[in-house]
Amino acid sequence: MNAANENKPLTSAGKCPICGKPTEQQYRPFCSRRCADVDLNRWLTGSYAIPVVESEPDDPDEDRRET
Q: Consult the annotation and say whether 4 binds a ligand.
A: no
DSSP state of 15: B
Q: Consult the annotation and say whether 35 binds a ligand.
A: yes
Q: Consult the annotation and say whether 19 binds a ligand.
A: yes
**CA 3 → CA 6, 8, 36, 37, 54, distances in Å?**
5, 9, 33, 37, 60
Contact 30, 36 (CB under 8 A): yes
Binding residues for Zn(2+): 16, 19, 31, 35
Annotated binding-site members: 16, 19, 31, 35
